[in-house]
Structure 1
Amino acid sequence: MGVPMEKDPREEIIQAWYMDDSNEDQRLPHHKEPKEFVSLDKLAELGVVSWRLDADNYETDEELKKIREARGYSYMDFCEVCPEKLPNYEEKIKNFFEEHLHTDEEIRYCVAGSGYFDVRDRNDAWIRIWVKKGAMIVLPAGIYHRFTLDSDNYIKAMRLFVGDPVWTPFNRPHDHLPARKEYVDSFLKEAGGNAIDASA
């Protein structure tokens, strides 16, 4: 008998799965039938990295401090997304859900509530990533993605950034941007000439 695998503590607050293609409310889970979950390792292969942090003590959290220093996240602010707190809520939530990319990393640390980040895999299929309180996620520059709340309609996220923040979204298609080309070369092209097994 093999030793049972240690459960990754991130899995309690970050889950990912392939989405169905129904046009129902974007805030529903949109699981395929049967459900098809995606591992955090598979997300890492797409450049999406994550941590589980202590959201109740983010002001004094040494681990957060270490991550910020190691990755150069000098800028920090908070964004609350819910109908009561976000001006032009309906319009903003529509914009967040337009498929887009950024020329810098998108770093979000969920300190309260929950929401969905959807990213494209190597075959352009949507993977839905559900982040809950304590989850910190980094979407690499150049990855096509979108965001929506889940049916609880609330998230409070810390936004981190290297240097002065630039939040410009480039709606798809923007394949000519250097950030997109770098992303494709780093994560979507076949590594070392080996064929990528999309099912792995």
Structure 2
Amino acid sequence: MVKAWYMDTETSDQRLEHHKNPPEFISLEELYKKTGVEYFSLNVDTYTTDGVLDKIKKDRGYTYEDQIVCSKECLPNYEEKIKSFYMEHLHTDEEIRFVLDGSGYFDVRDGSDLWIRIAVAAGDMIVIPSGIYHRFTLDTNNYIKAKRFFIGEPVWLAYNRPAEREPCRARYLRALRQGFAAPS
């Protein structure tokens, strides 16, 4: 089950938990209200046959998917890639990840521009809204295998901060001010 908490200031090792002491954990409901990030729990042993993922894909219009493995053995230019994933950025489309194996961290900014760290592991699926500043890193296990989903053709562009002129950023900030509707 996913955990989320407010982070301390930056540390030299992005792969450590580094949360406030004592940790300020937040619930999935709070995470959604503060960021618009949605969470689904799926069974990695039955997702191909139980229909749960198929229903999510149909309801949300995901028509393209692929799989990524991040590890020293599988990812060319591993250290450079991990550093690029950790650069604060946004996308013009949602970022959807379903973790099949391994673990890692997604960091997202709340409405006060504070970092919330989301620890994901096998069975966790998160949807990061278009226009939110975020980043990704592995944890100290240095391994994750995940499915990625897209509506239509995949969009791989990341816009590093500052990207305030991107229309998706304005839409995200408007949704944040208005409050996020109940997740679908």
Q: TM-score normalised to the size of structure 1?
A: 0.87
**Pairing 1:63–2:46 present:** no
Larger Rg: 1
SS of corresponding position for 1:50: strand
- Structure 1 alignment gaps of length 5 or more: 1-12, 192-200
Q: Aligned AA for 1:125?
A: L
Which residue is equivalent to 1:37?
Answer: 25
Matched, 1:78 2:67: yes
Aligned to 2:7: 19
Deviation at 1:190, TM superposition (A): 5.0
> Structure 2 regions of 5+ residues with no counterpart?
180-184
CA deviation map 1:141-192 (0-9, x unaligned): 00000000001111000000000001100000001111000000001x255x
Cα distance between partner residues in 1 of 2:68 and 2:47: 15
1:57 CA displacement:
2.5
The residue that corresponds to 2:85 in the other structure is 96
* 1:137, distance to aligned residue in structure 2 (A): 0.2
Count the aligned residue pairs.
Answer: 178
Instruction: Report the TM-score, using the length of structure 2 for normalisation.
Output: 0.94
* Alpha-carbon offset, residue 22 of structure 1: 3.8
Q: Percent identity?
A: 56
Runs (4+) of structure 1 exceeding 6 A deviation are none
* RMSD (Å) for aligned C-alpha atoms: 1.0
Q: Secondary structure at the match of 1:181?
A: helix
Partner AA of 1:49 in structure 2: E
Task: Give secondary structure in 2 for the equivalent of 1:21.
Answer: coil
Q: CA deviation at 1:44?
A: 1.1
Query: Aligned partners of 2:84, 2:50: CA distance in 1, in Å?
Result: 32
Measured against aligned partners, the alpha-carbon deviations of 1:57-116 in whole angstroms (never above 9, x if no partner) come to 232230100000000001011000011000111110000000000000000000100100
